[in-house]
Every structure is written in C-alpha cells, then in structure tokens.
Chain A
Amino acid sequence: MSAYRFLVNGAPAQVDVPGMRRLLDVLRDDLGLTGTKEGCGEGECGACSVLLDGQVVDACLVPVCQVEGRIVRTVEGLSLAARERGSLDTLQEAFLEHGAAQCGICTPGMLMAARAYLDAGGGPDDESIREAIAGNLCRCTGYTKIVDAIVAVATPLE
C-alpha cells in the first residue's frame, strides 16, 4: 500500500491502496464516483472512459500508480460549474435534447470522449466525430443521435 495523490474534478484526492489497483476501482469504490461505468474490464467498450490530463483513457486499464500527481476528470466533473446553476453543460444539454442517451450506461464514457474531442478543437465533421468516439461502444442508439448531438455542439454559432 502506498498513498497516491491526484486531482479529481478539480479537488485533491488521496487514496492508500496497492499501486496496481485500477483507476476504475479507485474512482468507483474508494472515491464513490460511480458515474464511471465498467462494461468489459479489458479496454474494449469505453464505458469507463475518463480524462487523464485531458486525454481519454479507459480507467479499467490504468493502474492508480500512474495517476500520481495528475489530473483526472470524470462525468461528475463535466458540469460542475453548470450544475451550480442547476443545469447541464452544453454537451450534456445537446445529448438530452437530441436523444443521444438511451439506456445511459455508455453515456458517461461517451461524453468524456466527446469532451476531449471538442476540447482539442474538433469540428462538426461527421467522420472525425465518429473516429473520436470509435472506442466507445453503444448498443442502443446506432450512434446517429450521439453524432448529431456532438455536431450540434461543435458547430460554431453564427
């Protein structure tokens, strides 16, 4: 056991756990952040996607020892500022409005992948968006409305 310190959604976190413990378990079980989901445990489905220093990673494949001193962002942190105003951020709003979440289990990971794409300056181009979320499996939507929602956010306002 050793202590690992990092930032989660802007707040400092410290856990005393084995270094090979999965970031996914640290988030869900040790920090109570259950918004990040487990779908396969082997990096195939993307349900556990979080941002590590702004990059999308599968939290099931990241041992917590690699997170020391770094910045983690999860779905719970997506709309922190917005939620104080009692609402969703623009990406979440677009998902809601377009019907991009159905069963919702892939949604947190999908939002994080989309957030990283948008933060990197991604535009409303269909192919690029599909590539950006290709690591996130959704079995409900056929991806149509997810892509529509991201296009809506990526389209510059007139």
Chain B
Amino acid sequence: MPTRAFTSGVQTVERALVVDPGQRVPGRAAGFPLRREGPAKLTGAAKYTDDLVFPGAWHGITIRSTEAHAKLVAIELDPDVDWSKVVVATAADIPGDNVVASIKDDQPVLVPVGGVIRHHAEPVALLAAPDKETLRRLKGRIRLVTEPLPPVFDPEQSDHVFAKYEVTTGDLALGFAGADLIVEGTYRVGHQEQLYIENNAMIAVPGDDGGIVIHGSLQCPYYVHKALKRALRLTHVQARVIAEETGGGFGGKEEYPSMIALHASLLALKAKRPVRMIYERHEDISATTKRHPAIVRHRSGVTKDGVLVAQDVEVIMDGGAYCTLSPVVLSRGLLHAGGPYRCPNVRLRACATRTNTPPNGAFRGFGAPQTEFAAEMQLNRIAERLEMSPAELRRRNVYRLNDTTPTGQVLRESVAAEEVLEQALGASHFERIRERTARESAERGGSGTIPPGPLRSGDRRVANGIGLALGWHGAGFTGSGEVYIGSIASVELTADGRIRVLTANTEMGQGTKTVFPQMVAAELGVPSDWVEYAPQDTAEVPDSGPTVASRTVMVVGGLVIRAARRLKAAVEERNPGVPFHEAFRDDAKANGATRIDQKFEAYPGVVFDDATYVGDAYPAYGWAAAVASVEVDLDTAEVTVRDVIAVDDVGKVIHPVLCEGQVEGGTLQAVGYATLEEMKVRDGRYLNDRLATYLIPTAMDAPHIRTILVEAPFSGAPHGAKGVGELPMDVAAPAVIAAIHDATGVWIHDLPATPERILAAMHGDRGAPAA
C-alpha cells in the first residue's frame, strides 16, 4: 500500500511505504521464520543463568553500604564467627585496577578501606558460602565502620558535573523578539526501573589458566570482558564471557553486569570454585541502574500562525553517584530535546551532575524519553494557547526533507515525520474524537458542583480524552560512536559445510537470533534454518559492539548482510555458474572453511564533530507518532489508557511480528512511565524497592495497542533499516499526558500522572511550577 508522496519545501520526499497488513495474517508469522529459540522458551528447556548447574558452586552475595555518603574507616568481621568456612573478599583482593571500566574510571569494584562510599547501595565487601542459609546468617556479622559525610541529593545543588553540552543555532534574542507568543514550562521526570523479569544473574567459573569464565544475563559480552581484563589483570584469552539466555534487558543489563561479573569472579578466584551471584528482586531494584531523572525547562517563541521561531531548552539530569553512561545518555537527551521540529533560533543546554543516589544508566530511549516528553508537553501547551489543533501545530513545524537540525545536520533522506503523523491522525480519527471529547467536556463544565474544573455532572463520572505526540530517535550511536567502536561481524562457511553468523549481539527477546539468520539466508538464497547463530561467547565471536541503541539490526545487521554478500561472491567465483545454495557444501569440502569478517565503515557523507557538536548527530532518524485514548475517573482521578495507535518508521521492516512486538512492548513501557511507574526516593534511598511496591502495567492495565509500521529506508544500510527498539518509548508517555489533559483540562508536568497529581492539579495546585 504505497502512500501519497508529501511535498516538502522544494523537493518531494522519497516515497515512504506503509507496511501492508494485508500481505499476511495480522500478528502472525506466516511467511517469516518463527522465533528461533521460541520452542526452547515455550517448553521450559531454555537455560537462563540461574538454571545452569555447576557442581560444587558456592553462592555469593554483596555487602553494601547503608549510608548515602561516608568515609569507610574499617570492615570488621565478627570474631565469634569461624570465617574459615566461607570466603570474604574486599577491595584488597582485587589484583588489577579497582575500577569498573566504563566511560570514566570513577566507580570502584568495591569501596576500599579509607575510601569514600557514595551511595547507600554501594558494594563494599563480598561473601560466598556453600549454601544460602549460611549467607543469610553471616551477612549481618560483617560490620562497616564509617564516618558520615554530607550527602547531595538535588542534582541542581551538586558541584560535580559529569558532562555538559550546549548546541546553538541562529539568534535566540532575535527569535524571541519576532515571536507573538512565548510559552515557558518546567517538566520533571523521575527514575524508571527497567524491570526485566529475570533479575541480574552471573556465574563465575575459575579456569585452569588463572582466568575466569563468566556465564551471565547480559547485553554486552565485550563490556564485561573489558572490565574483567582491567580489574582482574587478565589477558584477552583468560577472560571469557558467555551470554546465556537473557530474560530482558532494556538497557538495565548494559553496564551493571560488569560489576556483578567482577564480584562473582573475585569470590570464585578466592574460593577456587564456581560462584553464583543471583540477585533477588529487592537487591536488583535497590542497587542497579535506573532511567535518569531529569528536569527540563523550556522557553519557546511562536508566531500567531503557530510557527516556531525560538527554542531555549535546559536539561538537568541526575547521574547518581558515578558517571556510568551519563555523558552519552545526556548527549542523546540534548540532541532530541527540541523534538522533531524545525526552528531557526535554538539553544539547547544540558548538564548531568553527581548525587549520592545509586548510579543511573541505560534504559530504552537513553535520555530521549525524558527530553521528548518535555518537548511534546511544550508543543501541546503551545497549541492550547494558540487555540490550534495539536495536529495542525505539528504540521506547521515538523521536519521535512532538507530541513536543518540545531547541530546543522541537513536531513537529506529518510524523513517520515509527516508520514507517521498523518497515519496516526487518520487511523485514530484524531480530530473527530477530539471534537467529541471537547463537546463532552463543555457539557460537564456547566454543572460542576465543586468548582473549578471539569468535574462530573450527573452520573457521568468518567471523562474521555485523546492525545497526540510525535517523536524522533537518532538511529544507532550518537556522533562518531560507531566509527570509534569499529565493530566486526562475521559470516562463516565451515569446513563441514555449515553456515554460521558470528556476532556479539545478544538475544534478550528482541529477536536477534531469528533475524540475523533470516537476513543472511535471504542473501545466500537458502532457507533460514540452514543458517546458524553462533553463541555469544567472547571465545568464539568477534566484537560487534554492544547490544544497545537500537543498533543491532541497523548497524550489525548491515555488516552481516555485507559479509553474506561477500561469502556468496567468493563461493560463486570458485564455482562458476553454480548458485551459492547448490555450491556451498561441495565448496566447503574442497576448499575448507571460508570466513568473512566485515568491519564497520563510516556511513558515506555522515560527519559529526564530537568537540563542537556540529554536523550529523546521527546517520538517520526513526520517526514515531502515538495517539492515546484515555478514560479518567473524575472522582478518583484513576486513568485507564484504553487504546494507543503507534506509528513507527523503522526504515525497513525485517520481520513484522518481531518488529510489532518491539513497538507494543516499548509503548507499554512508556504508558507505565506516564501513569504508574514512580520510584519514591528519600535520603538517596528508593523506598519502593520491591515488586509489591514498584508497579508496572499488568495485562489489565495495558491498552489495546495498534501498530502501524512505516518504511522510509536509510541508504547507508544495505537493508535500509533504522532500528526499532527505542523509538516507541519516546512518544507514548506525552500522548497519554495530552489525553489526560483532553479529559480533565489539566496539565501534568511531572511524570508519572498519578491520581494524586491529577487530583491536585484539578483542584488548582499545578503540582509543578509552570508559566
């Protein structure tokens, strides 16, 4: 179903294709390979880390600080305990550098005596024993002697800056001078927990060579590998990391597994036996990384016709106690902070600071959901002030082909912002429903018994609302990230005639194990199940970079396709006139193995200056729109998100079922972010650090999600794919908040929109400072 071409400035946008649901039975895999590891997962045969048995293995736990900021004076072991039956490890046992290798080397593996504790869940010592009961008994017999230091909990009061950026274009003063309306707003978002259902889990097995083999639940085998080499002083071969079946990651298993692997390894080396470190949910929530809380301040100037002429945005992120990935999270947040809108005069400023709370890190969207929520709130509030439809305001400002972003990037191709917007508006009957909800709201308005606000009249206790948001997501790593990493992916024809794909990219539910063989099979002209996917074991696969940033299909998939093409050419050249699928088995017999290693090369014409933040911040962008329909109970302010229409341009759909699965899952995580998921923090400690108190949506809380996939291919990738994982996370939250406003007339500036916040806003307390 090709759709109409949009005219944009002087040129016609290349035709974006909407994936035709009529090509297949909706929601079903017909014609596409079934999830490769699906049968194992469905029968209970799939082995996750905690399912693995290592005879003689001990269990390990972490002794953590209970203070947010303190000097560690001593670690005291109770003299009444016979410690010879167990193993205790401290910083003194670390053979190499006491750092968890990351962007900055500021986070210790364990706080050394004399060192500084920087958050209440900070690892200080480790304990291993043959059984869990002994661990429980002895845990409290290790005492930390500390001297308290003054903590900092407010990121705006912190004097320690992890990263700071500024992007400017045009003349801000001139822009505001030409504006008919200036709208200001401050928006706040809190921590969000990834809440993969499989807790962090790591097993360390000491090797005969003095090395360590790690079996773990993790996203990035080579991140863990690097951390092991550094802190344990191991060679490339002595450190070996195997990603086992991983029960969800969402960014939460990007960098923290390095820490856990080091802990398990220290105990395993000292105990001279395998050690299992399997987190319980409470520890996983209280200690591991979260989505960064952020404060986003906007000042926007528009003409009376709704044309954006000035944007001044300030982003402050709370990095927590250590740097982890904050500079890159902040960078992505900054680069998306203006939203997918053209504006001639822009200043974007962003800063991430240190507080005495557990470190924040990667979570699907990686800084963009925070700033795009604010950008969309701002757009929707401007539309209200102009008495213009939020759809129309977007039409007038949305990026089109050849528009320029604040970093000076000219959007030369693959711009489908208008397309996703119009698809979402059409599929949701947005304007028609908006008229109806406005009518309902007006009818309610006249009869209110508790002024002010849209309070219920008669028996109409429930108000309906509809809301729109538009977003973009830079595809792959920011800036020169891919060039810097220089990933390698391989396709191999083995000597015994098997075809194997070798990458370090892990399966955590997104479908890597299915789509990589699918893509290679398509290139080679063989059935998908003839292609094997090698295990994510650093002893076997090359470093194709981390499984993050929605880069797996786009970047690594591109490498895999190119490698497959080269393999096909090599085999067919040796066997003139015989197609690969007929030739490869005999070719392997005759010539032995053929392995093609494909290294990343910079996308043509994509240039970014990391020092000045000028140029192509991303090689391409994915575009997304969401329309949410809600019901709000006007007595209790309970919100039911009824439906979400999610329209996502992913460049190229490789596997419709898996792709839709990404959109549906990301959309629900965003709905949870908007309505339910709130980490309460007091004195640097999470109060609701259990699954009984940190709530995520159940099947009954989940809206009906309808996915529409759009394809505006990226020419730099051989398949045109731009990634899908994070894109849907950027838009559903602001769409839900806009729908709540449509139903109630109040804006909720701080996520999540809990009933308490909505009621407070309906009774005149706006909850957050706003213009």
Q: Which of B666-720 contact A (CB under 8 A)?
A: 666-669, 690-692, 696, 698-700, 702, 704-705
Query: Any chain B CB within 8 A of the CB of A130?
Result: yes
Interface of B is mostly: loop
User: Across the interface, which residues of A come within 8 angstroms of B246, CB to CB?
Assistant: 103
User: Across the interface, which residues of A come within 8 angstroms of B508, CB to CB?
Assistant: 103
Q: Complex: how many Å from CA A58 to CA B40?
A: 22
Q: Complex: how many Å from CA A138 to CA B45?
A: 19
Contact bitstring A102-129, B, C-beta under 8 A = 1, else 0: 1111111001000000000000001001
Min distance, Cβ A83 to any Cβ of chain B, angstroms: 7
Q: Complex: how many Å from CA A147 to CA B196?
A: 20
Given contacts A102-B510, A138-B197, contact A88 B665 (CB under 8 A): no
Query: Any chain B CB within 8 A of the CB of A69?
Result: no
- Interface size (B, Cβ < 8 Å)? 58
Query: Any chain B CB within 8 A of the CB of A40?
Result: yes
| Interface core residue of B196, B247, B657 (most chain A CB under 10 Å) | B247
Query: Any chain B CB within 8 A of the CB of A16?
Result: no
Taking a contact as CB atoms under 8 Å apart, the answer to whether B509 and A102 are in contact is yes
Contact of A134 among B509, B666, B698, B705 (CB under 8 A): B698
User: Across the interface, which residues of B come within 8 angstroms of A97, CB to CB?
Assistant: 28-29, 34
Query: Any chain B CB within 8 A of the CB of A30?
Result: no
Query: Any chain A CB within 8 A of the CB of B481?
Result: no
Q: Which residue of B lies closest to A150 (CB)?
A: B699
Top-3 shortest CB links A-B: A35-B44, A105-B247, A103-B509
Contact bitstring A67-79, B, C-beta under 8 A = 1, else 0: 0000000111011
Given contacts A103-B508, A105-B247, A145-B661, contact A139 B38 (CB under 8 A): no
User: Across the interface, which residues of A come within 8 angstroms of B692, CB to CB?
Assistant: 40, 42, 44
Q: Complex: how many Å from CA A111 to CA B38?
A: 13
Q: Which of A38-78 contact B (CB under 8 A)?
A: 38-42, 44-45, 47, 74-76, 78
Query: Any chain B CB within 8 A of the CB of A98?
Result: yes
Taking a contact as CB atoms under 8 Å apart, the answer to whether A35 and B43 are in contact is yes
Binding site for B on A (CB under 8 A): 28, 32-42, 44-45, 47, 74-76, 78-79, 83, 88, 92, 95-99, 101-108, 111, 126, 129-131, 133-148
Taking a contact as CB atoms under 8 Å apart, the answer to whether A147 and B27 are in contact is no
Q: Complex: how many Å from CA A133 to CA B702?
A: 12
Taking a contact as CB atoms under 8 Å apart, the answer to whether B199 and A78 are in contact is no
Taking a contact as CB atoms under 8 Å apart, the answer to whether B661 and A33 are in contact is no
Q: Which residue of A lies closest to B30 (CB)?
A: A97
Taking a contact as CB atoms under 8 Å apart, the answer to whether B510 and A133 are in contact is no
Q: Which residue of A lies closest to B658 (CB)?
A: A99
Taking a contact as CB atoms under 8 Å apart, the answer to whether A142 and B668 are in contact is yes
Q: Which of B235-257 contact A (CB under 8 A)?
A: 245-250
Contact of A99 among B37, B248, B249, B661 (CB under 8 A): B661
Taking a contact as CB atoms under 8 Å apart, the answer to whether B248 and A96 are in contact is no
Taking a contact as CB atoms under 8 Å apart, the answer to whether A34 and B41 are in contact is no
Min distance, Cβ A48 to any Cβ of chain B, angstroms: 11
Q: Which residue of A lies closest to B280 (CB)?
A: A41
Taking a contact as CB atoms under 8 Å apart, the answer to whether A139 and B29 are in contact is no
User: Across the interface, which residues of A come within 8 angstroms of B41, CB to CB?
Assistant: 101, 104, 107
| Interface core residue of B43, B248, B511, B661 (most chain A CB under 10 Å) | B43
